[in-house]
A and B are shown apart, each in its own frame.
Chain A
Amino acid sequence: MNAPVRPQSGLGTVLDILLADIAIRLQLSRTAHARAVKRYESIREWIERDVSPLAGLVDLFYPQGSMAIGATIASRVTNDEHDLDVVVQLGVPQGWSPADVLDALYEAIRGEPGSRYYAKAKRRPRCVTVSYADMHLDLIPMQRLHATPERESILFFHEEGGDCGQSVVNSFGFAEWFSACTADSGTFGPLYAERASIYEREMVLAEADADPVPEQEPASAKSLSVVGLQLVKRWRNVLYQDRTNGRPPSVLLSKFAADQPRKCLTLSEELLSQAVHMRDRFRQSEMTGSLIHEANPACAHDVLTDRWPANLGEQRQFAQDLERLIADVQWLRGDVDLEQIRCKLAELFGEWPARRAVEAFNKNMGTEIDRGRSRHDRRAGSIALTGVAAGVTAPRHRFHGGGVHRP
């Protein structure tokens, strides 16, 4: 009997599976996540040492941005390096200027010549960056504002010979709001986590050579919205890699992902819906001739569009980029073969993640076919993919011939 075949997980088509596998290959693995946490905890211990200019002043360390909302994605187009943000909540002494705060954090991290972070630390206008071979940690000093909602804080900025000041932000509140908006109890999350776990285990095995591999905790489940956002961020990174003008910040893309109103059933539909939602918001601003304005829902003072777009030209350019993304995703959801999908995904998300995702898909499908385990939807004339219920198997067989043969 033919069992009914229906998508139930957000991964019902080859496109959905490849999009998920691209995100898995670009996101921060559990191993790298644990490494990042260990690193910033070590930095915290270091800057609290007795001779540190911040000794006794550190209240709290916590991740913000993509690490806080589970939407990390490689920051470079050609490799899988990550930029991660960590808030350093300080009890800033009376009378310190923004420059004093940033300089003190820089000195506290850098230490004496020859100390562990001396060559790795760099002072920036809003943070101190500590660089590792595989990631950059941006440590952002903030001061908690008392008698305000949880973790509402002052952010400092100071550029040598340029702007100097402070603003009120709440990245913790934003992450809480984002998580509440994008929570999803459907089957996509566990299935995505399972795929991520398999991939990460393969990576660990590949790196471990002959050493025994420790058991890993299962990867955390993510919602369609979060994975859709990861893909949008990656697309933005690829799009702007050779541009010299500013690019839409991740926090703004996150805001749009969270308040995208449509409930989607598949990952490609989610990606499309996020792009359409953003395009429509930019169109509204375009119609009034104004720059888009978005604020942190957890803190009205925290304006997410304060640095981008700088002008109407930047805004218009991104709206046109979104039109192309929408057209591309619609085309990908149409009548296209795996090679056409691979080429378009490489264009949108970079060559290596697209190629590796397609190679892995091909290998997995081929193995299932070779072992007589692939499942079919006979009525649709298709292969029943991961995340699609039921399907029937065909008797095992072996393709014959090695090229062109006469019957």
Chain B
Amino acid sequence: MKCLTTREQDRLVRRHCPSFKTLGRDRSSVLWQGDLRPLGKTYTVLVGLRRTPKAKSCVPSVLVTDPVLRRRPQSPEEAIPHIYLNPDPRLRDFPYLCLYHPPSEEWHGGKAAAKTIIPWTIEWLVCYEGWLATGQWAGGGIH
């Protein structure tokens, strides 16, 4: 599997996702900010790709910066499904989204973030809104 370079990833994001702008890019990482409106609400998200020394591939990370993701008022003890806690204690309100199952290699560095990570973020947000409104995360997933 040949990994796409950050430059190639950036080119594809800017071509397919015009609401995204590149906040920074070097040989090992790239960071975009964009607006998504999966249903009726607009969300600002940060999408990053980072090549880590341990990983052979790029690792994506996605978080929603606006509005802040919230728990259901009817069930405040219930955690938001399918998120990773942000390790930075100052950023606890901005968890990372769990978009794919890493052991199954649904994502690898040879795939374009524009055609996977960003559409999967849209789908995560649709499920999140559905969960907020009904209490049911209807989009499936692996626990």
Name A's B-contacting residues (CB within 8 A): 2, 13-15, 334-342, 355, 358-359, 361-363, 365-367, 369-370, 374, 376, 378-383, 394-407
28 residue pairs of the A-B complex, CB under 8 angstroms, read A334-B40, A337-B39, A337-B129, A338-B41, A338-B132, A341-B133, A366-B136, A366-B139, A378-B17, A379-B16, A380-B19, A382-B39, A382-B122, A383-B38, A383-B39, A383-B126, A395-B116, A397-B99, A398-B140, A398-B141, A398-B142, A399-B99, A399-B124, A400-B99, A401-B141, A403-B79, A405-B83, A407-B84
Going nearest first, the 9 A-B pairs with the smallest beta carbon separation are: A366-B138, A399-B141, A370-B140, A394-B119, A402-B143, A362-B130, A381-B36, A338-B129, A337-B41
* A325-B130 Cα distance, complex, nearest whole Å: 25
Name B's A-contacting residues (CB within 8 A): 16-19, 34-42, 61, 79-85, 87, 95-96, 98-102, 104, 106-107, 111, 114-116, 118-120, 122-124, 126-127, 129-134, 136-143
**What are the residues of chain A within 8 A of B140 when measuring CB–CB?**
366, 369-370, 398-399
* CB-CB under 8 A for A380 and B82, given A369-B123, A397-B116: no
**What are the residues of chain A within 8 A of B41 when measuring CB–CB?**
335-338, 340
* CB-CB under 8 A for A404 and B136, given A378-B16, A380-B37: no
**What are the residues of chain B within 8 A of A376 when measuring CB–CB?**
119, 122
Q: Is the CB of B82 within 8 A of A337?
A: no
* A378-B126 Cα distance, complex, nearest whole Å: 14
Q: Is the CB of A14 within 8 A of B138?
A: no
Q: Is the CB of A358 within 8 A of B134?
A: yes
* A380-B40 Cα distance, complex, nearest whole Å: 11
* A396-B37 Cα distance, complex, nearest whole Å: 20
Closest Cβ of chain B to A378, distance in Å, is: 5
Closest Cβ of chain A to B43, distance in Å, is: 9
* A198-B118 Cα distance, complex, nearest whole Å: 32
Q: Is the CB of A338 within 8 A of B100?
A: no
**What are the residues of chain B within 8 A of A395 when measuring CB–CB?**
106, 111, 115-116
Given contacts A341-B40, A366-B140, A404-B85, 8 further A-B contacts (CB under 8 A): A339-B133, A378-B17, A379-B19, A395-B111, A399-B141, A400-B142, A401-B83, A407-B96
Closest Cβ of chain B to A264, distance in Å, is: 18
Q: Is the CB of B17 within 8 A of A381?
A: yes
Q: Is the CB of A402 within 8 A of B106?
A: no
**What are the residues of chain B within 8 A of A378 when measuring CB–CB?**
16-17, 114, 118-119
* CB-CB under 8 A for A337 and B132, given A369-B123, A401-B83, A402-B143: yes
Q: Is the CB of B39 within 8 A of A404?
A: no
Q: Residue of B at shortest CB range from A342?
A: B133
Q: Which of B84, B101, B136 contacts A405 (CB 8 A)?
A: B84
* A13-B38 Cα distance, complex, nearest whole Å: 10
Q: Residue of B at shortest CB range from A332?
A: B40
